[in-house]
Amino acid sequence: MKRLHLILIWTVCLAKWSLQAFGDLDTARIQQQKWPVPYRRFDHRPEADPYCQAVYQFCPTGSPDGSIPVMKDADVIEVFRLQAPVWEFKYGGLLGRFHIMHDAIGFRSTLSGRNYTMEWYELFQLGNCTFPHLRAEAEAPFWCNQGAACFFEEIDDQHWKQNGTLEKVSEMTGAQFNEMAKWIRKDNETGIYYETWTVQTDPGPNPAVWFDSYDCSQFVHRTYRKLADMGVSFTSQLQTNYTRIFLYSGEPTFLGNDTAIFGAAGNKTVASDIKRFYHPFRPPQSIKDFLVSLLEIYERVVLEKSFYLYYNYEYWHLPMKPPYIRITYEEIPLPRIHKKP
């Protein structure tokens, strides 16, 4: 069984379970720590390591250089909300029953009649973005984590309609579309890695949020907000829901980056525990291995109340608390234009 197929199985299983110190803290950092931890942006997108290989090719029908076509300023561009179950091409509507959905945006030029799809997703599939590889020749866990925008011609109506959503939500001018395209390129070059989890204190109405996710739905939200900032209004009255995967913990403890933990002068105890934590998340070779790994994950996360998060290329320890993990399908309304006084 491949990690690609197991990450959501593990997540769904752990979400059903709701059973009831790593050295001195860096005091200066804690006093200055902002919550949620800001997502780190970069000045360019690095080349992927050859070790990282995708099971399914990223953006196979998109432009090789990621370019977006230029529209005529006077064009009217229709905007569509697109949503379908994750891996719908392989499992149909199965994961939709658990509200595990993938989000995208569609566009239609009224001048040319051409349709386009824009989405943001993992270069090397979800499992590789959520958990690392433990390579014998490497001291530190090895991550194959990048996410990027994919823009290609055509909207696959059947894919989105059959088990999901294809709904017109707005219109904009060609000039606004071109402005959005410039913003997309910058956003895509500076926001390079995927983050599966939203981490917060509890499922209540006003929790402390420690870390925000950075995934396909967040890309859609950022794009919608950008369009609203440009003066594009959203007309849909339908409820808009999105998948979110939560971890619940007390205040996280910062541990450091690869060098600080796994380097020559690193903390060998913490380094060993991090690798021990990630070991059960490796791609198992048999059903027996998977069941053993699932029990190990349950022991670490639920019984020992421990989770290691890799965020901004740094490790954090999460003191887990009930209900530990949860998949939700929450309403997040379309943005409104804020009129200047």
Given a contact cutoff of 8 angstroms between Cβ atoms, the answer to whether 104 and 180 are in contact is no
Q: What residues are paired with 328 via a beta bridge?
A: 244
CA distance 101 to 105: 14
Catalytic position from the list 44, 216, 317, 338: 216
Long-range contacts (CB closer than 8 Å, 24 or more residues apart) made by 63-66: 63/151, 63/152, 66/148, 66/149, 66/151, 66/185, 66/188
**Strands annotated E in 110-240:** 115-122, 147-153, 165-173, 197-200, 209-211
Which candidate in 102, 144, 150, 317 is catalytic?
A: 102
Catalytic annotation present for 159: no
Alpha helix segments (H runs only) across 86-215: 88-91, 125-130, 157-163, 174-190
Closest alpha carbon to 70 in 157, 181, 215:
181
Cα–Cα dist 184/225, whole Å: 12
Q: Is 216 a catalytic residue?
A: yes
DSSP output for 254-278: EEE-HHHHHSTTS-HHHHHHHHHHH
Q: How many alpha carbons fall within 13 Å on the CB side of residue 13?
A: 15
Q: How many CB atoms lie within 10 A of CB 165?
A: 16
Cα dihedral sign, 318-324-325-329: negative
Q: Taking the CB of residue 234, how many other CB atoms lie within 10 A of it? A: 19
Which two structure tokens, joined as six digits, stand for 291? 């069941």
Catalytic residues: 102, 216
